[in-house]
Structure 1
């Protein structure tokens, strides 16, 4: 499936759930938290301002981003993969490498 988000929306592939702690303990499925990180898969053209101009997106395809725990409530499934569709302003930070 190929998604092209509109305006200031981004499509994110959520990172895998952590199954072990840093110290090596294995977490049960109910104890593991849903990750709040992911990789940007697609971006829209940008936010349309009140004067009609389009503000470019601050994120690009391939960026690893951090978002809030309740961000991206719009999910799209493609087979076994699940993607989040959210507004750019729901992204809290870009992870620098």
Structure 2
């Protein structure tokens, strides 16, 4: 999906999700260390990710977009093939 095709709200949600994910990555402690975040903050972050996801889904449905679309390379072989179900008409021989 091209970012220019997204609404302002969709772009805001996308940036909000990325920034929140970066904050979580930066605040994640090394194994065995205590988290600097309280349990209520961790719960609030999970709730916020859920709300962002729900709103993105609603906006995608309103715009008629498929949220299950995945990026692909133009030189990738297609996942489907055209199968001929009937034979083309034969050329008639002149009598």
TM-score, normalised on structure 1?
0.22
Name the structure where strand makes up a greater proportion of residues.
Answer: 1
Name the structure where helix makes up a greater proportion of residues.
Answer: 2
TM-score, normalised on structure 2?
0.22
Higher RCO, 1 vs 2 (CA within 8 Å, ≥6 residues apart): 1
